[in-house]
Amino acid sequence: MGKLDFVIEELVTANRVLANEGIVDSFGHVSARHPDKPEHYLLSRARAPERIERSDIVEYTLAGEAIDTNAPAPYVERFIHGAIYEARPDVHAVVHNHSPSVIPFGVTPKKLRPFLHMCAHIGHEVPTWDSRDKFGDTTLLVSDMDMGRDLARLLGSRPTTLMRGHGATVVGRSVRHAVFVAIYLEVGAKLQMQAMALGEIKFLSAGEIEQIVGRLNDYTLDRAWENWARRAGRDMQKS
Ligand SMILES: [Zn+2]
């Protein structure tokens, strides 16, 4: 199997896993940088993640134009993906989702931060991008490259960002990595609301986060991926 085939298959599995784990519902998407053409990325046509097949995956330029001029209708928010690939050469996969537990942190002053070791990968503190700051009243959707680039600027070198009243965007070095972080972002947000109800939280220290992130290897990612993939009715490809 070629590299492109491998990534397309990974993307189908990623969509099914994210849906099965409750990170995306009928909305939300996951992309991968093209393995042979770093100036292009791969993303499904506009379709609910749980329903996506190999034939739905479309190749786009970073500006969000489909290479195939007859390609089916794209996601409005594909600009999130292109703008991040443009700004971050280290990023090879992007997840955008509206998972329920992250939403309250985007609309209140409470910062989403990791205190569970598995959540160290969400970063030291998750920032919130507010579309209104620069673009005023909008539908809140990232509907052009200007908005995508503004989001990418706030993301900076971080792994995650929240989006006020909308959702979250997560990046990774591979599809498996981005899915892993997106799942633990939702887990961390849910747990933080529960812990806040009990009292003051002892968060991970900066040093703990660095050590945990430094130890994340393919063994860990593959162990989670096999479980999530099979739970979603998909086989795990040999990486
Ligand atoms: Zn969205």
What is the 76 CA–ligand 1 centroid distance (Å)?
A: 9
The residue written with tokens 């940088």 in the block is 33
Task: Tell how far the Cα of 69 is from the centroid of ligand 1, in angstroms.
Answer: 24
Q: Would residue 10 show up in a list of annotated catalytic residues for this protein?
A: no
DSSP assignment of 27-51 equals S-EEEEE-SS-TTEEEEE-SS-GGG
> How many A from CA of 202 to the centre of ligand 1?
31
pLDDT of the residue at 239: 79
Instruction: Give me the tens of pLDDT residue by residue for the chain, a chain 239 residues long.
Output: 799 999 999 999 999 999 999 999 999 999 999 999 999 999 999 999 999 999 999 999 999 999 999 999 999 999 999 999 999 999 999 999 999 999 999 999 999 999 999 999 999 999 999 999 999 999 999 999 999 999 999 999 999 999 999 999 999 999 999 999 999 999 999 999 999 999 999 999 999 999 999 999 999 999 999 999 999 999 999 87
Could you tell me which residues come within 8 angstroms of residue 52 by beta carbon, excluding any fewer than 6 positions away? 11, 12, 15, 16, 44
Are the C-beta atoms of residues 91 and 170 closer than 8 Å to each other?
A: no
- Determine the distance separating the centroid of ligand 1 and the alpha carbon of 28, expressed in angstroms: 6
What is the 7 CA–ligand 1 centroid distance (Å)? Answer: 23
Contact, 41 vs 82, CB < 8 A?
Answer: yes
How far is CA 70 from each of CA 33, 65, 66, 67, 138, rounded to the nearest angstrom? 21, 11, 8, 9, 29
Mapping DSSP to helix (H, G, I), strand (E, B) and coil, where does residue 91 land?
coil
Q: How many Å lie between the centroid of ligand 1 and the Cα of residue 4?
A: 26
Q: Considering 39, 65, 77, 226, which one is annotated as catalytic?
A: 77
Residues comprising the chain, all counted: 239
Query: First and final CA of the chain: distance in angstroms?
Result: 11
User: To 10 degrees, the CA torsion angle through 74, 77, 78, 82?
Assistant: 160
